[in-house]
Amino acid sequence: MSLLVVGTVAFDAIETPFGKTDKIVGGAASYISLAASYFTKDIQLVSVIGDDFPDSFLNTLKLQGIKLDGLQIKKGEKSFFWSGKYHNDLNNRDTIDTQLNVLANFDPIVPESSKNCEFLMLGNLVPAVQQSVISQLSSRPKLIVLDTMNFWMDIAMDELKKTIARIDVLTINDSEARQLSGEYSLVKAAQKILEMGPKVIVIKKGEHGALLFNKEEVFFAPALPLEEVFDPTGAGDSFAGGFIGYLAKTKDISFENMKRAIIFGSAMASFTVERFGTEKLIGLTQDQINERVQQFVDLVQFEIS
């Protein structure tokens, strides 16, 4: 088994300066697994939904080669729901409504066939739940990547730190890196966080790109300057999905290969933000992805003579 993805599969209602949606499909694991599915077909999804979730989306996931043995469907219960409104600058958003529903008692169960996964992507969730997944595995994966957010730093910092100590790569945004480390400089923040356990940290800066650090090296990947950023929801998860998908495909976890993985992750995120929800992540061609990656190459290409 290659890649195990854990996280939410949920409903979102989103308002941006460009439009508004009713309930549409979202959730970290939806974006992660869709983005990763363009790189490897050996993906298992662990999540929970209610019986209100559309079969059509589950079929879409299956068609993309994503296995759903780890997806619990709770009869008579409702799926997790989040509603938010983005400010004009799209960098900030207000949460309008959060209904935990099935997520309130989520007890992830890793299918037997996935307990020896080589790559584990822990999408944003209660840190204790993320840990319980690691504990269920029969062998230590080649790479564990974890995404989290400021919310858990506010209410469960100790548990979060215990979880972070067990992983290889942490992906968080710049303000979260500052909060977790207590350092304003991202260079210092990264070094302090690396002392907490992870070998690598990815600091996501949204429209300003992403930084990749290990203890000795740093790499910067730009975000693509886009004419239209329609809806930033899921950008970070699509980034994480492209990142771990590329690593799972190439099975090379060197820093050099992580640089490439970050570029593929950034490319997947650049698609996601062009439409509401997961729309743009469905039905992409390999040519479209290669063309997008080439735009990143061109964007930063220069030669000092």
Query: Interface with its own copies by CB under 8 A: which residues?
Result: 88-89, 184-188, 205, 208-209, 211, 218-222, 225-229, 256, 259-260, 263, 293-294, 297, 299-305
Q: Tell me how far apart the alpha carbons of residues 283 and 243 are, in angstroms, rounded to a whole number.
A: 19
Residue type, 293: V
**Shortest approach of its own copies to residue 174 CB, angstroms?**
10
Q: What is the DSSP string of 82-93?
A: EEEEE-TTSS-E
Q: Which residue lies nearer to its own copies by CB, 66 or 223?
A: 223
Query: CA gyration radius for the chain?
Result: 18
**Shortest approach of its own copies to residue 167 CB, angstroms?**
22
Q: Which residue lies nearer to its own copies by CB, 52 or 174?
A: 174
Task: Please compute, for residue 96, the number of CA atoms within 13 A of its CA located in the half-sphere on the CB side.
Answer: 11
**Shortest approach of its own copies to residue 84 CB, angstroms?**
19
Q: Which residue lies nearer to its own copies by CB, 138 or 294?
A: 294
Q: Which residue lies nearer to its own copies by CB, 25 or 169?
A: 169
Q: Which of 140, 97, 100 is nearest to 118 (CA)?
A: 140
Q: Which of 107, 109, 47 is nearest to 80 (CA)?
A: 47
Q: Which residue lies nearer to its own copies by CB, 22 or 195?
A: 195
**Shortest approach of its own copies to residue 28 CB, angstroms?**
25
Residue 261 vs residues 138, 159, 245, 252: alpha-carbon distances, Å = 26, 29, 8, 10
**Shortest approach of its own copies to residue 210 CB, angstroms?**
11
Q: Which residue lies nearer to its own copies by CB, 75 or 184?
A: 184
Task: Please compute, for residue 27, the number of CA atoms within 13 A of its CA located in the half-sphere on the CB side.
Answer: 32
Quick count: other Cβ atoms within 10 Å of Cβ 22?
8
Positive or negative CA dihedral for 252, 261, 191, 139?
negative
**Shortest approach of its own copies to residue 90 CB, angstroms?**
8
